Structure 1
Amino acid sequence: MNRRRAVGVAAIGLFVLTGCSGSGQSVKFGEMATVKGERAGTVGVTVIQVEKGSNADLSGLKDASKYADKTPYYVHFKLTKTAEGNDDDTSSQFEVYDGQKQLTQLLVLPSLDAIGDPSLVTRRFERCKDASDTAYKAAAEGQSVDGCAVFLADKETGTPSTVKWTRRSDTLATWK
């Protein structure tokens, strides 16, 4: 799976944003950027904070050893539905930078574990949960849906200082 998100895999894919080419809106962490939808409408996107995790957070992942030298950072955000909100866009995403270097996004999919016949248990990455596509679609005007995205830094990467909301090569909003 590539970093750009597979359609329908991550609930973050519900984001409905687009805008003009260029640098987009520049806002501070905690402030909302209102961006245009891919085809119509707008949505409010707020990056609340970027939180540093620990490598131990990744120990429960399948093949955890491949993350041994990585530090997770959690981008906490919320989406606010507007009157003309559009929920059909799956091509917008967050990008996180330490000033110059871009961090790698980690998509953590739920897994099903058999615990008996025919019982299954769904395991989720509890440390950081994606925004719910269903909750966003059902939200009334002015309501928000919280979410979180995981980004990984290696030993050479500094502390993230910039988060961008992008579509293809366009930056729609930047939080610093």
Structure 2
Amino acid sequence: MRALVGLAAVGALTLTACNDDTSSDSAKNTPPPTAAPTTPAAAPTMPVSTPTSPAAAGSSSSTPAGASATAPAPATGGGKDATPGQTFKIGQPAQVQFTSGSTKGVIALSVSSIETGDPADLDALKLGDKVKGLVPYYVHYTITNTGTTDLAYTSVDHVKGLLPDGSEAQELMIIGGFAKCPSTSLPKGFTNGQTAQACAVALAPTATKVTGAEYWGSPYTLGKGAISWK
């Protein structure tokens, strides 16, 4: 078990924990931890995305004689991409032009809830004094494929917690399994209409709390260039 600490350029402390209690999700593509200072454009993120069962297909109905049956319309993101700096309500989806390596697609992304954890949850990560006085928060978010590209095995990460004053919460990158906030890449066959749940860990001092979240993956950037949920 090991942990690395790096100071992000935006002033938020980023912790990287390596948990020996890994599960099958350890085979996902995970960026290597770094102890060097990072810049907002290349800040480390925790790969997250936990597959769920495919979205239920539309209900069938009888087709009158002589009429041709039509397939259910594909899920869409509403036709308008979220703009940098745009703010959404918790649970409200944002349409995003998603890029992961050479894979490009369209997703509907929403922060579904922010759960307050227990400082004892972090004991298994053996971070010691690095997380003393900090409370973990679990940012749960939902990904729906609204495009035509199969996004299997990609990871929708770049999600950070936000404090009440709008500043970024400290970020915890976990390499390996973490039952409180599980992470895997998107599953095989993640095509149009498929939905998955994911989670990111944010840390805040006991005197404050995490009340929102932001997504700064391409084409967005950290800070005012990100989209957020509050």
Corresponding position of 1:96: 161
Q: Specify which of 90, 111, 115 is matched with residue 47 of structure 1.
A: 111
Separation in 1 of the partners of 2:15 and 2:83? Answer: 18
1:37/1:85 contact within 8 Å kept = no
Q: Share of identical aligned residues, percent?
A: 22
CA distance in 2, matches of 1:86, 1:105: 29
Q: Which amino acid aligns with 1:49?
A: S
Q: In structure 1, which of residues 136, 149, 155 is the aligned counterpart of residue 200 of structure 2?
A: 149
Aligned residues between the structures: 153
TM-score by length of 2: 0.56
Between the aligned partners of 1:76 and 1:91, the Cα distance in structure 2 is 12
Looking at structure 1, the residues matched to 166 and 211 of structure 2 have their Cα atoms a distance apart, in angstroms, of 9
Whether 1:11 aligns to 2:47 is: yes
Q: Say whether the 8 Å CA contact 2:202–2:210 is kept in structure 1.
A: no
Q: Does 1:163 align with 2:213?
A: yes
Question: Could you tell me the TM-score, scaled by structure 1's length?
Answer: 0.71
Q: Give the secondary structure class of the aligned counterpart of 1:66.
A: helix
Q: 2:94 aligns to what?
A: 33
Match of 2:173 among 104, 107, 114: 107
Distance 1:166 1:86, change over 3 A: farther
Q: How far does the alpha carbon of each residue in 1:71-106 deviate from its partner, in whole angstroms, 9 at most, with x for none? A: 000001111112334749779611221123311110
Question: Which protein shows a greater Rg?
Answer: 2
Q: CA separation of 1:68/1:37 partners in 2, compared to 1, >3 Å: closer, same or farther?
A: same
Q: Secondary structure at the match of 2:120?
A: helix
Instruction: Tell me the alpha carbon deviations over residues 100-157 of structure 1, each in whole angstroms, 9 at most, x when there is no partner.
Output: 33111101222xxxxxxxxxxxxx2111112x2141x52231111111111111245x
2:168 counterpart of 1:80: no
CA distance 1:20–1:125, shift in 2 (3 Å): closer
Alignment partners' CA distance in 2, 1:133 and 1:175: 22
- Distance in 2 between the 1:91 and 1:75 partners? 13
SS of the residue 2:213 aligns to: strand
**Map of 1:118 onto structure 2:** none
1:21 offset after TM fit, Å? 6.3
Q: Distance in 2 between matches of 1:82 and 1:91?
A: 14
The 3-state SS of whatever aligns with 1:11 is: coil
Q: Is the 8 A contact 2:139 2:200 kept in 1?
A: yes
Q: Shift of residue 68 of structure 1?
A: 2.3
Over 3 Å counting, the alpha-carbon distance change for 1:85 and 1:27 in structure 2 is farther
Give the drift of 1:40: 4.2
Greater percentage in strand = 1
Q: Give the gaps of 5 or more residues in structure 2.
A: 7-13, 17-28, 32-45, 51-80
